[in-house]
Chain A
């Protein structure tokens, strides 16, 4: 199994202890797409952050590609993120004073075997806008840059926290299609958080969280192409 989460727990302490993750179990196969659904505050982002190595769990285990993420030191976590994880955020998080191409270079700069920047730019359909600054792009275009930035290092696992959360319907579908293309063309495993259960149709594995627990989990044998998702 490419990704295995077992019995993961996490609480925030501050006066009263709030359990955020309460014994999460989850599996994802190499090269597949997983979707995490759930109401606001259910612990989706917290879970993803622990898998991505930017946050730490209290108990349980996360195995990614054979690496025991929960046992890594801070420095090892840095190397882990650097070599294996691609991040895509709801609000794109592009660096405003860098051009499109430079934003992608932020990641390719520290990758061992990055894809050519121009190639990924073409792949996301922005080859002609590489000299623009983020503020000169639409939201959808910005999210494409952010996808290009995440895939330029050819990561083992792509983590997307509500990648379409700030986009309209049509643009969202384009972005999802792009992610699906990345998944099939590069064979990248993708874990995606969304509020939109319609999106679950394009994922092999679907997990619904509620109050820090997996309330429901199922697999899709029949995948819906992103272009045909409607909501």
Chain B
């Protein structure tokens, strides 16, 4: 059809506009394919690894070697197998955790090189290998042992290689290595841990209870009981996967919807402007379907091009991202990835469906008119919408009235700008806010709660004196009766522990002889002072109940603090029992006695390791958001200028100066941008809280939802800069509009 030639002319007449829409669609499809492809593939690999390599369901330690293991296995139908581990400091500021292989649970996956063949061989994790520059064939010297690196590996119970289970990050330079049991024999300090995997894959909760009962019947002292569901080494990948999933669909859909609005406006205007021609074509026997198709060509072309480009550029990012994550973050074996055909189709077709439908509805409404009606041509006869009519603006200055009316003239355009700015701001602040929450959590170690420098926790409960300058504590892992995955520590601390400061929201010190709950846990369980909390011990399943006296304003995790004496009484332990100490100085404990050591004042160092990639990601997100904002503001401004050509020309004729015209036409959107930004704050908090909620459910990690005013201001400054720059660009278009337009044209 000769009509189709017009498409190219229309496209090239408004290049900027269509490039803008194209980029928005592209970003949508790209995100859809890349984020979903990553999340799905990585999730699949993690799940497959857990399944094929028989990931443990739980692990525990015992106070004496477990006897009758065979009978126990028989009774519970579970694979129960111990492994040993020992931590070896390396000469160059690193630490290697040696582990022994297991045969029935947590099967190691060799990701390069070969498996262990003989004593002296070692398999190490690929991240450790790359940070220390180790290659296959190299030797690792531990001082009194020398290992030959035969390959790299992934371990199902060390996907996220944390040194201590309650850490958020592995210490820098830390890694894991698999060695033969014979090599481990020369480490008498090695710790034994039992890994359990049940044969029947359903009713795991019930089987756990059965196993615990069986163990208690034997009278063994259990410690470090850790369900896989609460094990960050196992569950942490889901934080990232969930994060990617949260943006994988909503962001593209938001972008596509925005494009619908803008394309709807553009098409409507084109059809309107053409109405006389359309009428004439009707009269000559053109069919409605042919014309509809003609006007659909442009949006469909844009959608298909944007969608296809997005998919084509999104697909190649999946494999490198998965590979990078699998090698250096959450260590898993990775293999050929499967790209979901549905995702690819969605990436290509979703924009077409969205835009096609929006355009179709608009076109159909216009084309329903008769040829006569159309030929009369009510071009320029803009209807007055209810907002414009309803407003009583008399008391405002002319400039304000004019700007307001200019914005209200087209409600779809107004919505596009409003939601566009909101979406861009949400995206920008989302990254900043997550970054901030993480920082707060890491820094909470130095938020003044602990004046102590070190926290030592022992493998076994002790009684008696603690060293000078140290204060004892005892702790029990528990979960609320109604919410099993909200695991927390019930911690008994000495009432006279003068290095612990529990403060309430007002900054007042809370007495240590009462029950105090940390803010994050209280918030998660919706608990307030004076309310009762019923909870269950993870260790023996006993139920307890306490009344909360105070809420501690700290972001350092989920704890209930109570006096040590009361704690021991409550849990039925001998008076003076403790499982750890806080101390001002370093204490000469041996590694084998300890379950963990925390440097309470220097958590920041670890944070820096995480900070760099995190900052990069946040900056990247902010830049994409700024680009999005720029495109949206540009599209609206250029549309507005075009719709107001006659007015602009007229203002010039009347003797308005260039600056005055610019201010009237361009500054009117400022309040919409401001409103859009303000809307984004609650919206962003809501989406962050949704994501944090997931994280809590998935990995029992709670982050405080906090707005950092500095980041809000930074985001606002970015949006304003984008707005101003875009206005500057559009200003040039304004200058080009000639006065003759008003002199010739007969508008209303």
Q: Determine the main DSSP class of B at the interface with A.
A: helix
Residues in chain B near residue A134, CB distance under 8 A: 748
The complex places the Cα of A30 from the Cα of B257 at a distance, in Å, of: 61
Q: Does A73 contact B (CB under 8 A)?
A: no
Q: Are B405 and A102 in contact (CB under 8 A)?
A: yes
- Chain A 155-167 per-residue mask, 1 if CB under 8 angstroms from chain B, else 0: 0000001000010
Q: Does B194 contact A (CB under 8 A)?
A: no
Residues in chain A near residue B544, CB distance under 8 A: none
Q: Are B743 and A110 in contact (CB under 8 A)?
A: no
Stretch at the interface among A82-90, A195-203, A213-221: A82-90
A48 to chain B, nearest CB (A): 9
Residues A106 and B651 in contact in the complex (CB < 8 Å), given A82-B656, A92-B748: yes
Q: Are B398 and A96 in contact (CB under 8 A)?
A: no
Q: Are A142 and B748 in contact (CB under 8 A)?
A: yes
Q: Does B650 contact A (CB under 8 A)?
A: yes
The complex places the Cα of A98 from the Cα of B398 at a distance, in Å, of: 11
The complex places the Cα of A221 from the Cα of B342 at a distance, in Å, of: 87
Q: Does A45 contact B (CB under 8 A)?
A: yes
**Which A132-148 residues have a C-beta within 8 angstroms of B?**
133-136, 142
Among A49, A102, A108, A135, contact of B384 (Cβ-Cβ < 8 Å): A135
Among B384, B405, B647, B660, contact of A110 (Cβ-Cβ < 8 Å): B660
Q: Are A102 and B742 in contact (CB under 8 A)?
A: no
Residues A78 and B657 in contact in the complex (CB < 8 Å), given A54-B743, A135-B748: yes
Residues in chain B near residue A79, CB distance under 8 A: 655
**Which B355-406 residues have a C-beta within 8 angstroms of A?**
380-382, 384, 388-389, 393-394, 398-399, 401-402, 405-406
The complex places the Cα of A97 from the Cα of B389 at a distance, in Å, of: 9
The complex places the Cα of A91 from the Cα of B381 at a distance, in Å, of: 13
Q: Are A94 and B748 in contact (CB under 8 A)?
A: yes
A65 to chain B, nearest CB (A): 15
The complex places the Cα of A82 from the Cα of B658 at a distance, in Å, of: 12
CB-CB nearest in chain B for A91: B746
B393 to chain A, nearest CB (A): 8
Q: Are B747 and A166 in contact (CB under 8 A)?
A: no
Q: Are A110 and B656 in contact (CB under 8 A)?
A: yes
Q: Are B398 and A95 in contact (CB under 8 A)?
A: no
Q: Are A87 and B747 in contact (CB under 8 A)?
A: no
Residues A93 and B382 in contact in the complex (CB < 8 Å), given A79-B655, A81-B653, A106-B654: no
**Which A161-177 residues have a C-beta within 8 angstroms of B?**
161, 166
The complex places the Cα of A78 from the Cα of B398 at a distance, in Å, of: 20
Q: Does B418 contact A (CB under 8 A)?
A: no
Residues in chain B near residue A107, CB distance under 8 A: 654
Among A87, A91, A101, contact of B653 (Cβ-Cβ < 8 Å): A87
Among A90, A94, A110, A136, contact of B654 (Cβ-Cβ < 8 Å): A110
The complex places the Cα of A55 from the Cα of B651 at a distance, in Å, of: 15
Residues in chain B near residue A22, CB distance under 8 A: none
Q: Are B409 and A91 in contact (CB under 8 A)?
A: no
Residues A82 and B384 in contact in the complex (CB < 8 Å), given A97-B405, A106-B398: no
Q: Are B380 and A96 in contact (CB under 8 A)?
A: yes
Q: Does A105 contact B (CB under 8 A)?
A: yes
A52 to chain B, nearest CB (A): 8
- Chain B 639-661 per-residue mask, 1 if CB under 8 angstroms from chain A, else 0: 00000001100111111110010
The complex places the Cα of A49 from the Cα of B742 at a distance, in Å, of: 12
CB-CB nearest in chain B for A133: B384
B383 to chain A, nearest CB (A): 8
The complex places the Cα of A22 from the Cα of B740 at a distance, in Å, of: 21
Among B408, B409, B646, B743, contact of A49 (Cβ-Cβ < 8 Å): B743
CB-CB nearest in chain B for A142: B748
**Which B49-89 residues have a C-beta within 8 angstroms of A?**
none
Residues A90 and B398 in contact in the complex (CB < 8 Å), given A110-B655, A110-B656: no
Most buried by B among A78, A93, A101, A136: A93
Residues in chain B near residue A85, CB distance under 8 A: 655
B633 to chain A, nearest CB (A): 21
Residues in chain B near residue A166, CB distance under 8 A: 746
27 A-B residue pairs with Cβ-Cβ distance under 8 Å, sorted by A, are: A45-B743, A82-B656, A85-B655, A87-B653, A91-B747, A92-B748, A93-B646, A93-B746, A93-B747, A94-B748, A96-B380, A96-B747, A96-B748, A97-B382, A97-B384, A97-B406, A97-B409, A101-B394, A102-B398, A108-B398, A109-B399, A110-B655, A133-B388, A133-B389, A134-B748, A136-B384, A166-B746
B interface with A by C-beta (< 8 Å): 380-382, 384, 388-389, 393-394, 398-399, 401-402, 405-406, 408-409, 646-647, 650-657, 660, 739-740, 742-743, 745-748
Nearest 7 pairs of A and B residues by beta carbon: A82-B655, A91-B746, A81-B655, A109-B398, A105-B398, A96-B748, A54-B739
A interface with B by C-beta (< 8 Å): 45, 49, 52, 54-55, 75, 78-83, 85, 87, 89-98, 101-102, 105-110, 133-136, 142, 161, 166
